[in-house]
Amino acid sequence: MEIKNAKNFLIVVAHPDDECLFFSPTIIGLISRHKTGHILVFSTGNSNGLGSMREKELNESSQQLGIDLSRCLALNLTDLQDNSHRWWSKENISEMIKKY
């Protein structure tokens, strides 16, 4: 299916703020074309103990971008924590996307 025919879209990012840093123009453009947006974030970005603050910022960012909070999910799973010394499993990431 071509994106122009899609009714929904999913933005998948690693951490809160990636959605606005890298995808703001895309999200705004799709929302303006009456597409329903969803955001899936793999980590709350809690490596420095700021996870809850970053989740709040994600919620505010999503609303500003036109994505309802009910369609924005930040995972907080043990094996997907923010850690620059550990790689995430491709299989785990793939499974999380399929579930969402």
Nearest-angstrom CA–CA distance, 82 and 79: 9
Kindly report, residue by residue over 52-69, the tens digit of the pLDDT: 898 999 999 999 999 999
Name the residue among 57, 3, 48 with its Cα closest to residue 13.
57
Answer with the residue of higher pLDDT: 34 or 45.
Answer: 34
| Amino acid at position 5, single letter | N
Q: What does the pLDDT read at residue 83?
A: 65
Per-residue confidence at 77, pLDDT binned at 50, 70, 90? Answer: confident
Q: Which domains does the chain show, CATH number per domain?
A: 3-99 (3.40.50.10320)
Regarding predicted confidence, which is higher, 78 or 39?
39
- The pTM of this model reads 0.85
Q: Calculate mean pLDDT across residues 86-96.
A: 82
